[in-house]
Amino acid sequence: MAHNHADRLLVQIASYNTNLQGVLGLPQDLVDWLSPTLQVSSFLSKERRAPDIVAVGFQELLPLHLGLSGFSKSVIEDRNALILSQIEANAPNKEPYSLIAKVVNAGVALLVYGRDDTIARTVCDVQTQWTGSGPMYMGNKGAVGVRFRMPGDGGGVGETFTQVSMICLFVCAHLTAHKEKLATRLADYKHIVGSLLFPPVASEESSALSTIYETSHLFFLGDLNFRLDIPPLHPLAFSKNMDFARVLDDEKTREQLKEFDQLLIERRKGTIFQGLHEGEFWKFKCSYKYVLGEVDKYSPELLLNFYSPKRGPSWTDRVLYATYSDSADTLEQSNITNILYTAIPAYTTSDHKPIVCMLLLPSPLRPALAEAPTKPPMLRLPSTYSPTPDPFATAKKYTGRALDRVIGICWYVLVILGAGSWAMGIFNFLVGVGAWTWWKVKESGGPPVV
């Protein structure tokens, strides 16, 4: 049955770990990734509806020596042009879109678009930020963010109410890998909350920087790297002879497996993603780890050892969200309607499958015109959780950025010397140093006589 949700913003979120293949470009267009949500949205009304906001995040976008060196501009520009053209080409009525903001740090990137006739021409206070959570705060892991405000002073014709201004904040992250690194992932998130900081919200008197939680709507996406951690003696434990891909075909089995998902377990404990919600991720098969070039075939090493501490199959790629009207004490329920949450198996150039999510935001607040202007509503958080900015955030960020550049450029030079291989580059460098030393000794007439 069709429903009318014309006053509720439609947000499309897509995330993809490209396995360092971004520099090569995409072997196919983005229709498989972006178009399904446009078609699914037809249930919202009699007419198909294009999203108001589209956010696309990447992890491991390009080889680390390029990402750390900062040579990502051309790759991001190419992706921006392709994504924008695909969104517009597949929109129900060819609605035009504009880029609201893009930001990249090493291999983590986020591009956010707005539909011209609903959002893009009205957004303001657009800001971007980044932070690294790798060794010494390097950018091989970390997050990037985009925040903007949607003014609320434009009620429709004949309306006696006006919308309240809203703030949207999108975060794309890549957390530490491997099953046994759970504590490090939890620390990554804490670091991101403390260091991915934005200017104070305009309506606040305080000059303190804002954490990602100071917003009306928060969306957190990316390769979060949480794994399935099944007890060895549990009935759902897999033997090496089982075909894991076939086991995952059964949704009931996947629903049982979700109980061993590290992210869900930690959210229930309240140790991470406090106040955020997620759709039914078990509705789709694990997004990692696939054989390159295969649509539905998991890596052989996984089939031999499901309990591999490094490479266990899991729902590593996720989207979480929260809105100002959500209860701080209700884990499973949100006033954001999750319309679609799935993986796209057709992409085969990475060991991850891209995921896509479509969210319908709640109706905007509409105070009476006679009331005083209302500042943007903020997220409600559990009383036991109080996110605070890290006073050393700036120093940590730029320490990491400096190391990124030094290591990245040295690595880049080695790759050039090795004709694409850093290992061969080291060999060639050592051979060159040896040859130069030999030549200098020979030129000076040999070693000095003692």
The mean pLDDT of 239-249, rounded to a whole number, is: 62
Q: Domain map of the chain by residue range? A: 10-388
Residue in the structure block whose two tokens are 């400096």: 402
- CA angle centred on 83, ends 82 and 86, rounded to 5°: 85
309 vs 180: CA distance, rounded Å: 6
What's the predicted TM-score (pTM) here? 0.88
- pLDDT for the residue numbered 291: 85
Mean of the per-residue pLDDT values for the chain?
83
Q: What was the pLDDT predicted at 55?
A: 97
Query: 161: pLDDT confidence band, cut at 50, 70 and 90?
Result: very low
Most confident by average pLDDT, 305-319, 332-346, 435-449: 332-346
- pLDDT band, very low/low/confident/very high, at 193 (cuts 50, 70, 90): very high
> Could you give the CA distance from residue 361 to residue 273 in angstroms, rounded to a whole number?
19
pLDDT recorded at residue 156: 37
Confidence category of residue 242, pLDDT binned at 50, 70, 90? low
Region 10-388: CATH code: 3.60.10.10
Model confidence at 427, in pLDDT bands (50, 70, 90)? low
Sorting pLDDT into bands at 50, 70 and 90, what band is 234? Answer: confident
| 374 vs 365: CA distance, rounded Å | 10
pLDDT at 213 over 70: yes
Beta-strand relationship, 53-59 and 97-105: unpaired
Number of DSSP helices (H) and strands (E) in the chain, helices first: 10, 12
Place of tokens 């006053």: 7
Backbone angles phi, psi at 16, to 5 degrees: -155, 125
Give the neighbor-by-neighbor strand order of the sheet with 53-59.
97-105, 108-115, 53-59, 10-17, 355-360, 337-343
- Distance, CA of 109 to CA of 60 (rounded, Å): 9
Weakest mean pLDDT among 34-38, 158-162, 276-280, 443-447:
158-162
Contact call for residues 271 and 263 (beta carbons, < 8 A): no
Task: State mean pLDDT over 146-165.
Answer: 65
Measured torsion, CA atoms of residues 257, 262, 263, 269, in degrees rounded to the nearest 10: 110
Averaged pLDDT, 126-150? 97
Which pair of structure tokens corresponds to residue 383? 């009383």
